[in-house]
A and B are shown apart, each in its own frame.
Chain A
Amino acid sequence: MTSLKDLQKEIRDAVFAKPSDNDALETASQHIHGDDRITADEHLLIYRQAILSTLISALESIHPVCRQLIGEQFFDAMARRYVRQSPSKSPDLGDYGADFSDFIAGFEPAQTLPYLADVARLEWAWHQAFHAPDETGSGLAELANVSGQDTPLILFKLPLSASLLESAYPIHKIWQVNQDDWQEEPSVNLDDGQVRLIVWRQHYDIRIDPLTDQQLRLLKAVKSRRSLEEISASEPGLPLDQTLPQCVKNGWLASFSLKQI
């Protein structure tokens, strides 16, 4: 008799098999009761249909702008392909689709929209920010008490909700004109040039803020856990005395500690 473990794998394989692959379906359906009204295969296909549509809907709900850009049918077909090859590794459906943007970047039929993968990255960052934990650190209030001697050792931290994004395309504008509340002309000039963004949550408000090249350099250095001293050394020409206060003022640095020597 097939063990429970093998039976479950057979059913999983039947669910995610290509429609042209009947072997997996036949293997699994040997375990299923069928009758005149509904065959064993049909029982399994109900689950295949339900499971694929749950995963596709999850991707749709996280990526409404991508869906709007390419239309429901194209999105559905692209997501279906992704779902068949990308197993969900978490019981939380909200974790599903972290590398959907990478898949889009390599998805041949989407190559005519070179910005699509970056828009998907932006939507994933928004989703991450929405579900991020609340900040629990003490913030930057103690910054004034750091002695001059210790200042080089300051290790800033980005908000827990933050993602840093760069794109050769105006993805922020593309995102904005596809929001329900956009009032102006719904057009985007793709030659508007590259954008650098931080997507994060301020209290309960999700923000997409444009960054300058210098701000992005600083925030990336912070993200890689470098102290102020290390950032000065690794980012020559970055005017920390200007860029740092800008990042603090905008809330892009959420807390700090001192690097232990």
Chain B
Amino acid sequence: MSRFISTPIENTGIGLRAQHYRDILEKKPDIPWFEVLSENYLSAGGLALHHLEQIRERYPVTLHGVGMSLGSTDPLNRDYLKKLKSLAERIEPAWISDHLAWISADGHYVHDLLPLPYTEEALNNFAARVDEVQEYLGCQLLIENPSSYMSFTESDLTEWEFLNELTRKTDCNLLLDVNNLYVCSQNLSFDPVLYLEALSEGRVKEIHLAGYEAQDNFLFDTHGQRVHPPVWELYEKTVNHLGPIPTLIEWDTDIPAFDVLTEEAGKAQQILNAGSLHD
């Protein structure tokens, strides 16, 4: 039997950071949902998990991870999946997500989301692994588009074609990171609006917003700043096109005061509300 009231996520959530546990537990802010980095809660105990369980009593939670390495050709890491499953049983997340990426080769983890060549081989490999993980965890996954700083000469599909084929083959859903999409479109020179218009209907179940850092000749995705104006613009177009999809403010480095995150969430919510009127 479920320990928590099961509620689907809606509106604008915030990425949960350890720095804000106290703000949230003491002030009980009116936030629709929180997202947590799965890897921070994989040990079966300790203070972090204790705080998360307290927060879960009051708010819906989604689990967002970087550890599945779904694009890798290594065997799936059973130990990791087992821990993730225990966490999911404990927290009862609204969604479990990971990335269109690989993080390991030959058993060696790089702890960064490396992009794939978009080929038939990579697609079949990715899809087979998504199938296996979905069956093991007993739920549909959300797969997120990563920020990329390189693309492969081998690719014969676009990223959106790859994602559309993936959702068709595995019935997984998508997490569209609008910041990542913008960063990729700038780094790899393509039109991000074409990308989002080409995505299969009804598959995007969650959106991420975050800030990047402009370097000399590329955009670097740090998730350490406020959302940039061109990303807000692209987000508005996304909401107009896809409808009011639940959206998350993500902030992973140089974590600011909780109020900064709620301000950013407020801005996203205004755009979501305006998007609802279009429907």
From A34, which residue of chain B is reached at the shortest CB distance? Answer: B150
Tell me the complex Cα distance, A137–B46, Å. 15
Known contacts A4-B122, A46-B218; A92/B149 CB under 8 A: no
Q: Which of A1-38 touch B at CB < 8 Å?
A: 1-5, 7-9, 11-12, 15-16, 30-33, 35, 37-38
Indicate which residue in A2, A16, A132, A204 contacts B43 across the interface (CB closer than 8 Å): A132
Q: Mark B3-45, 1 if CB is under 8 A from A, else 0.
A: 0000000000000000000000000000000000001001111
Contacts of B45 in A (CB 8 A): 132-135, 160
Contacting residue for B108 out of A12, A50, A133, CB 8 A:
A12
| B220–A88 CB distance below 8 A | no
Any B CB within 8 A of the CB of A90? yes
A91 and B67 within 8 A (CB)? yes
Chain A residues positioned under 8 Å from B116 (CB to CB): 4
Q: A94-B39, A133-B45 given as contacts; is B73 within 8 A of A47 (CB)?
A: no
| Bound CA span A201–B49, Å | 14
B112 at the interface (CB under 8 A from A): yes
From 200 to 228 in chain B, residues with beta carbon under 8 angstroms from any chain A beta carbon are: 217-218, 220
Contact A32 B153 (CB under 8 A): yes
Evaluate contact between B112 and A8: CB separation under 8 angstroms: no
- Complex contacts, B189 vs chain A, CB 8 Å: 35
Q: Which chain A residues lie closer than 8 Å to B114 at the CB level?
A: 8, 11, 47
- Asked whether any CB of chain B lies closer than 8 Å to the CB of A218, the reply is no
* Contact-residue size bin, chain A (C-beta under 8 Å from the other chain): 35 or more
Q: Do A31 and B117 touch (CB < 8 A)?
A: yes
User: Which chain B residues border A30 with CB–CB below 8 Å?
Assistant: 153
Chain B, interface residues (CB within 8 Å), range: 35 or more
Q: Which of B42, B67, B121, B218 is within 8 Å of A38, CB to CB?
A: B218
- Provide the residues of chain B in CB contact with A94, threshold 8 Å: 39, 42-43
Determine whether A231 belongs to the interface, using a CB cutoff of 8 Å to chain B. Answer: no
What 0/1 readout, one digit per residue, does chain B (98-110) give for beta carbons within 8 Å of chain A? Answer: 0000111111111
Residue contact B152 to A33, C-beta cutoff 8 Å: yes
Cβ of A46 and Cβ of B150 under 8 Å apart?
yes
Determine whether the beta carbon of B106 is less than 8 Å from that of A3.
no
Q: Given A46-B218, A91-B103, A204-B50, are A12 and B43 neighbors across the interface (CB < 8 Å)?
A: no
CB distance from B102 to the nearest CB of A (A): 6
Q: Is the CB of A8 within 8 A of B107?
A: no
B154 and chain A: residue at smallest CB distance? A31
Contact between chains at B218 and A9 (CB < 8 Å): no
B150 touches A47 (CB 8 A): yes
CB-based nearest B residue for A129: B46
Please determine whether A8 and B152 come into contact, CB atoms closer than 8 angstroms: no
| Nearest chain A residue, comparing its CB with the CB of B80 | A91
CB distance from A172 to the nearest CB of B (A): 22
Minimum Cβ distance to chain A for residue B200 (Å)? 24
Whether A177 sits at the interface, judged by CB under 8 Å, is no
Q: How far is the CA of A47 from the CA of B72 in the complex (A)?
A: 17
Q: How far is the CB of A102 from chain B (nearest CB, A)?
A: 19
List of A residues within 8 angstroms of B46 by Cβ = 130-134, 201, 204
B109 to A130, Cβ gap below 8 A?
Answer: no
Question: In whole angstroms, how far apart are the Cα atoms of A131 and B189 in the complex?
Answer: 42
Judged by a CB distance under 8 angstroms, whether A55 is at the interface is yes
Q: Which residues of chain A from 121 to 177 have a CB within 8 Å of any chain B CB?
A: 130-135, 160
Give the complex CA separation of A90 and B107 in angstroms: 8
28 cross-chain CB contacts under 8 A: A3-B121, A4-B73, A4-B117, A7-B117, A7-B152, A7-B154, A8-B72, A8-B106, A8-B114, A11-B114, A31-B154, A32-B150, A33-B152, A33-B153, A35-B189, A42-B217, A51-B112, A87-B108, A87-B109, A88-B108, A91-B66, A91-B104, A91-B109, A92-B39, A94-B39, A130-B47, A132-B45, A133-B43
8 closest A-B pairs by CB = A134-B45, A91-B67, A43-B150, A133-B44, A8-B105, A12-B105, A87-B108, A5-B73
Other than the given A47-B150, A88-B109, 6 more pairs (CB < 8 A) read A8-B105, A32-B151, A33-B188, A50-B220, A55-B111, A134-B45
Residues of A within 8 A of B (CB): 1-5, 7-9, 11-12, 15-16, 30-33, 35, 37-38, 40, 42-44, 46-47, 50-51, 54-55, 58, 87-94, 96, 130-135, 160, 201, 204
